[in-house]
Every structure is written in C-alpha cells, then in structure tokens.
Amino acid sequence: MNTISTSFGDSAIMLRRNFKHILRNPVTVFNGALMPVIVMVMFVYVLGGAFNVGERYIEYVTPGMILLAITYGLSGTAVSVSSDMTKGIINRFKAMNVSRGAVLTGHVVATVLSTSVAVAVIIGVAFALGFRSPATPGDWLGAVGIIAATAFATAWLTVALGMAAKTPESAGMAVVPLLLLPFLSSAIAPAAKMGQGVRQFAEYQPFTPIIESLRGLLAGSPSGGYAAAALGWCAGIALVGYLWSRATFSKRA
C-alpha cells in the first residue's frame, strides 16, 4: 500500500511538473486547438459544398475535427518526452528515487488533460458554426468516453515514440503519421467516395471506426459495431504504447 501511495504521489508531482511546462509554453495547446479550427472553417465554408455526405457538412465533419484536436497536440508530448530522455533529467529523477512509472504517467495524464481543452474548443467552435446534435445525455457520455479512450491511447503511443527517438527534433517528426491519418480516414469525406486503394486503407485504419462511432453518437444513432471496434483499437494502441514505452524507458534510463 505504501508503494502504491508513493507511486501516486510521484505521478502527481510529475503531472504538476508537466503542467508548469505547458503553462510556460502554451503554444502546444494553442496549436492543438487552432489548427483543427482552421481546417474546420476551411472545409465548412470553402470546400464543404463539394462533398455530398447526405447531411449538413458541419454535422458530418465535427467528429473528424475532434480527432484532429486530439492528434495535433501530440507532437509537443513527443518532444517533451524526448527532451527528458536526452537532457539528463531522468538521471536526476533516479537520484531522487522517483518512480519510473510516474515519469511516464505524468506525461500521459498531462497530454489527456491538455487534449481535453483542445477538444472542448473544437466542440464550442462547431456549435458557433451551426453544429446541432440530437444526441441524448447518454449519447454525449458515450462520445466523451470514446474521446477519452482515444486521447489515452494516442498519448501512450506518443510517449513511446518520444522515448524511442534519438533527438527531440526526430521525436516531433515521428508523430507526423498520426497527424496525417485523420485525412486518410472518413474525417473529411466518406471512405466510400475515395479512390481504389485509399478507400480500403481508410476503411480499415484505426481512426475511421473511432470517427464513425463519434459521428453516430453525436447524431443520436449510436452504432455498437463501430463503438466496439473503436474501443478495441484504443485498447490495442494503448497496450502497445505502454509496453513499448516501459521497455524503452528501462533500457535507456
């Protein structure tokens, strides 16, 4: 019990440390919210009329923009993790007998909380642009659960990528595929309308069921199949990220 309480205490200290870094450099949260807002405005007002999605485009695109808000803030986490690994701070934590798991957990929780701010901004902007949802409170609760699971899973994967990177610069580049995947999903346009090859990739990559489960929940018509697939992908990504980051941390620290 004492070990558990010590681990929680160390995690709280690491979380506070990471939040101080974010407050000193709020551009991470700013970029995470600003870029999806710019993309949303561009697609809704400039390109939205070109897509035949069977509903108002703002309703269609909002779930995809929520996912963009999650992924656009990940590069800052990867760079922060890599900086910790390459600048000697980990050795100081070891000398202070700080729990190894707390270092990783602090980064993950800070990422999830900062992502929540970016997602809240995106949803607020969506309502300002005319988004309306017939979802019930239960549907909204389910959507929040999917968003939280996605943020948690991608945070662990990003921590692993930051751990594996040799420099902070390469850590930032390692996250680029996660930023591009939403554009190769059903976030912007239905996968069925994409060209051969791209369509199959969009249908079977992990972000599409996450987006479609959010789309169904926010439309008031949740899909159990998409939700199960989304949670399955989130669990798998989180497990891979956790095991990878712990293994890398043990090897390098």
Q: What is the pLDDT of residues 173-229, one digit of tens each?
A: 999 999 889 989 988 888 888 888 889 999 999 999 999 999 999 999 988 899 999
Reported residue count of the chain is: 253
DSSP code of 113? H
Calculate what percentage of the chain has a pLDDT beyond 90: 36
Q: What is the pLDDT of residues 219-246, one digit of tens each?
A: 999 888 999 999 999 999 999 999 998 8
Do 148 and 140 meet the contact criterion of CB atoms below 8 Å apart?
no
Task: Return the amino acid letter for 139.
Answer: D
User: Range with the lowest mean pLDDT among 51-60, 85-94, 188-197, 239-248?
Assistant: 85-94
Crossing angle of helices 100-128 and 224-252, in 10° steps, is: 140
Rounded CA-CA distance 163/141 in Å is 33
- Quick one: residue 224, left, alpha or beta (phi over 0 = left, psi -120 to 50 = alpha)? alpha
Rounded CA-CA distance 161/132 in Å is 37
List the domain boundaries for the chain: 2-252
H-assigned helices in 99-223: 100-128, 137-164, 168-174, 176-180, 198-204, 207-218
Task: Return the amino acid letter for 119.
Answer: V
DSSP code of 175? T
What does the pLDDT average to over 68-74? Answer: 88
Do 102 and 14 meet the contact criterion of CB atoms below 8 Å apart?
yes
pLDDT exceeds 60 at position 1? no
